[in-house]
Amino acid sequence: MNYDAFFERELAQLRAEGNYRVFAELERDAVNAPNALLKRGEGDRPVTVWCSNDYLGMGKADFVRRAVADAALQDGAGAGGTRNISGTATQHVALEAELADLHGKEAALLFTSGYVSNWASLSTLGARLPNCTILSDEMNHASMIEGIRHSRANKKLWKHNDPEDLDRKLSDLPHDNAKVVAFESVYSMDGDIAPVAEILEVAEAHGALTYLDEVHAVGLYGPQGGGIAEREGLAHRVSLIEGTLGKAFGVMGGYITGSAALCDFVRSFASGFIFTTALPPALAAGALASIRHLRRSDLERRRQQANVAALRARLDALRIPHIDNPSHIVPVMVGDPFKAKFLSDTLLENYGIYVQPINYPTVPKGTERLRITPSPLHTAGDMEHLVAALSHLWSQCALSRAVA
């Protein structure tokens, strides 16, 4: 078999469908975020980033960067081993304690990414709980899907954000079997928010363990940035809250929080934790500084919310279609992979605006979009430049405007 020829055919098919991904190489400016230099062989050019998951700009905050630098100079660049073999540092222990306290839980457990925390935790729970069925919202993230698949547990999908369908699915299961209800709070592509209270009521009525992914909510919602569950006063009712350090907290890593027994169980049996080199202590120090700041400051959240509202209002005024949702994510709907890529490329080349197109398989075919994430660091001038460029290109591409 000619393996490279096979690879090239598959890649050619991706290109033909308009779904081939091209990475933009950026040299970010921590002092003047969200500005960056787009690295090109023919010369660098300045761009403004409008699609970062560093939602609050905390990765650029001076005190977070200092915490990382100081810890690296004191402790070293890496952890040097797994958590079990010389890799547990004081920074890890302090960060886990802070995360447990943030979510009102007994314990927390760090992972190297949010993807790994979902994959490792769900695969472990599904594989080791007796006669387990995992009931997964049909729009759950790929990391949750992979964890469930790897567990080989019985799986049932329930309709997106539909507690009544969840209740029907749970009612079909044996009463004494283990059940895990897995869902997200903020869904990152459409920006919708789950009816957490109603889902918890159904799960509790059936004796199910609840697994809530808050990666797109931690830092952003709740009085202390504890997410949607904290905002709605429900965190104490959720069995396991999973989050990330790589989005609103601006650093890197993932985690789970829950009872001491639950976290110890995952720590003791999850291969994705046991056999992985620990998160660098310097990054743990940076995440700790970020979390502590956001627990006492809501300035960043208020500024971001104001920018999100302002952008939505400007898009509405220009009749540029976007999904109306209650979150910080602004999906501008294109509906065609080639036009989405053209818009993204032209914004980058002609306007110095970086917004990545989101195509299949991340979103269903026909729902291709530009996913825009305003931050507290974007200025009114940045926003006017963005919406004027979008409006011009919308007309150039003969794309439909929203109904007034």
Reduced to 3 states (helix: H, G, I; strand: E, B; else coil), residue 158 is strand
Q: Which of 60, 105, 179, 247 is catalytic?
A: 247
Return the half-sphere exposure (C-beta side, CA atoms, 13 A cut-off) of residue 66.
Answer: 5
> Buried (b) or exposed (e) across 55-70, using 16+ Cβ within 10 A?
bbbbbbbeebbebbee
Q: What is the DSSP string of 74-122?
A: HH-SS--SBIIIII--HHHHHHHHHHHHHTT-SEEEEES-HHHHHHHHH
**Helix axis angle, 114-128 relative to 260-269, nearest 10°?**
90
400: its two tokens: 């439909």
**Helix axis angle, 337-351 relative to 380-396, nearest 10°?**
130
Dmax over CA atoms of the chain, in Å, equals: 65
> If you ran DSSP here, which 8-state letter would residue 371 be given?
E
Q: Give the C-alpha distances (Å, rounded to integers) separating 145 from 109, 116, 240.
A: 20, 12, 17
Place of tokens 């790897």: 150
CA distance 96 to 300: 23
Helix (H) or strand (E) segment spanning residue 366: none
Q: Does the annotation mark 341 as catalytic? A: no
List of residues 6+ apart from 70 with CB closer than 8 A: 285
Residues with catalytic roles: 247
